[in-house]
Amino acid sequence: MAKTILVADDSPKIRTLLRSLFEPEQDYEICAEAANGQEAIVLALQHRPDLIILDLSMPVMDVVTAARELRTSLPDVPIILFTQHANLGKHLLGSNLLVDRVVSKSELGELVGHVRSLIPV
């Protein structure tokens, strides 16, 4: 059975890109897509993914609040912060242990490797 991933990014292009990145992966599948932090929480509780990918800048609910809520509700689910602002993300979230990894959007090719290391099959 494939490991499931929830993607939360306000950009439909990024969500489509991530879906296409994981489509060829037999061991991983995108189970849900959220356009903001609040929607990410609702979908995470509904789908219970094995891993969550969050964007740093999202409307409705900021990523710090969303990550904190997800950590409380689903403490064993790894969270990857996938952002254009990797250095800022590391300072904001990495030191508070709200996310397990911070991955730059410029390093898209490395994202699957990070997912594999956090939720191996």
Q: pLDDT tens across 41-89, in order?
A: 999 999 999 999 999 888 888 888 899 999 999 999 999 998 876 555 4
Q: Give the CATH number for residue 92.
A: 3.40.50.2300
* Whole-prediction pTM: 0.90
Residues in the chain, overall count: 121
Phi (first) and psi of residue 104, to 5 degrees: -75, 140
Assess whether pLDDT exceeds 90 at residue 29.
yes
Higher pLDDT among residues 99 and 84, named by residue: 99
In the chain, count of helices (H) and strands (E)? 5, 5
What span, in angstroms and rounded, lies between the C-alpha atoms of 91 and 3?
A: 29
CA distances for 17 relative to 7, 20, 55, 81, angstroms: 11, 5, 13, 16
- What the block records as the tokens of 69 is 């809520």
Question: Tell me: the pLDDT tens digits for 33-48?
Answer: 999 999 999 999 999 9
Nearest CA-CA partner of 84 in 65, 58, 61: 58
**In total, how many domains does the chain have?**
1
Q: Write out the residue range of the structural domain in which residue 81 sits.
A: 3-118
Distances (CA, A) of 35 to 52, 63, 91, 106: 13, 12, 23, 20
